[in-house]
Structure 1
């Protein structure tokens, strides 16, 4: 019996039966104390190896399989050991060892703490189900209400555990480059492209992100192409599933006979790259000096002031003989070499970005949809997870888009978790 439910039952000022099976099933009076309840709860039997806890079975479809529970039990044992070590005598630990133990404890705790809470919720769920099955109407209504709250807490705990188990992608913490292009459908596709552009702008506003257009090819409300920089913490992690072909089904403003048209818009979301940092190792350079040629007088022509620097990994070679000083020529040659390497890396990154975009959005054909916006039915359907939300207006004004984003994230995490097994 959960403690909150126990307190509510006590308020009825009548003896109640604790629905815990076994030797702990006994009659509690108004003057019973939580100590008895805690003793009963502590007697819950552990679940067998390679099996799910009983509470998980009552909760229905669980994201955590028996193998994952086994892994979590191992982590729980490790966490308890680390906790015991840190709470004992740590004077014999070196600074680095203490820092490592603290980090391990913190990292493991992100998973184990919600897992311990989950096991407690499973036990509460078993007890609540026993109350519901007992047939006592005075308990049933309260137990049903408490059960739903417990199920919601279980779902939240499982999501937190899954998030902790999955490897973190550093790109998810970065900003994003959002590219929107009109696909199939002529003017109607361009109009919907503008609608999506405004949807993401409003969504960014609700999240407190910075939204800055980089390029825009538009005519009135029709947007053929738009590239936007969205800055903020975790932007890419939220928007990464928006990439794909977005299909709209509605009656265009230009349609005189009221026919529904189908048009598409392609959306690509790419992680925002940080400034390209060029690191040039001395071991990667071959530096040659020689006599300068051409005009400049006797001094320039008779001293080894000219410099040629070759970057061995790329084969890029730079010469400079503008200055009389070899040192100055070397500095200028290095400046030019750095600029050329930067341009090379920038073009490489741009090429990879184009390839990534093509993989994300496909060809833009109507059949390659990831999401459909049906205005007649006030429905937005994401076909990747077969999830529909009947709040098209809320999605388009940015207030309800998070519901779809959350469902995509949950499904993605479950798929990643399945691949880890």
Structure 2
């Protein structure tokens, strides 16, 4: 099938490359000529494990191409995916649909045959109706269907999530569109992937409801971690004890400094705003947003307390800046709250991240970026694990202790065993453990 992907950001590029790997003919479109030029040179705009090889192999096979010419890409397409950004709108927290609306207008202008237009971007309930209305206004005689097909890709594991998904959700009541989407995802039938066909508005809400539920789990276990610290319990064992209950499940029960990234912060906020306007407030999600925001702010205080209550003139080594490992994404990362608070408290911060330092430089000032974890520990009064990258899981603590002014570790991801670190002479502070 002939597929056009409008937008070469995280969702668009990964989805386009995976559809091409399924055997479809895919054109990825972006207005950013510099980005398209880099893609032609094999340079990825994002870090995602395996994406560069996947793109290269499908470009070589002639199934994947890149262009700035939306008109040509749309004319012969069977399906056109809208995969543009929907950031939080300043002032009210709603999803900003500017790019979605613009894409809808431009797609409508170039339609020449029956085409399924698919909202892949994360959008509020009713956006499919809006897109269809815009397209009908621009092209009253156009033969098209508008479908919702939300993405459920985890950064750092997106290719596997696309090719081996838990489910595929398709929102449409149009039989022609339904058959085309079934054919598009036919390669997944071999894996017996559940494909849920529903109406468009339900499909749109499924995406927000899923992300909000996972955010609630994270905020919940983080608050349990606070309680564990006060009563002398172990949050990791609490998480295991409740996670073994099949009704709860073990995923998203790792206590830490709060969630971030491109999805949970903006999607929970957008769901809250949608629910308030519908006069059906989601107070649990509202509490989750407030809890997570407060948690990230408190983490700097936890670090300062571990350093004796004052970090003025002290050097703090930071390991990890991105919101999670295996990505260079800095959006709403806990580090963006924690690091500036440490600097404001008078600390000298030395930071290292395997992939995120270029993005971090755009967001964080007055800190020193270093070449590795041991450089971050050089003459440090404390070292902090903010992101659980694999390369931080087996550090040489004898080497780190020798490099540091004082061996203090604040492990905000519970990577290490407290007894082991104390045996190595460290003052060790973690989350929700004695």
Common topology (TM > 0.5): no
TM class by shorter-chain length? under 0.3
So what's the TM-score if we normalise by structure 1? 0.19
So what's the TM-score if we normalise by structure 2? 0.19
Look at both structures and tell me which one has the larger radius of gyration over its CA atoms.
Answer: 1
Q: Which has the larger share of helix?
A: 1
Q: Which has the larger share of strand?
A: 1
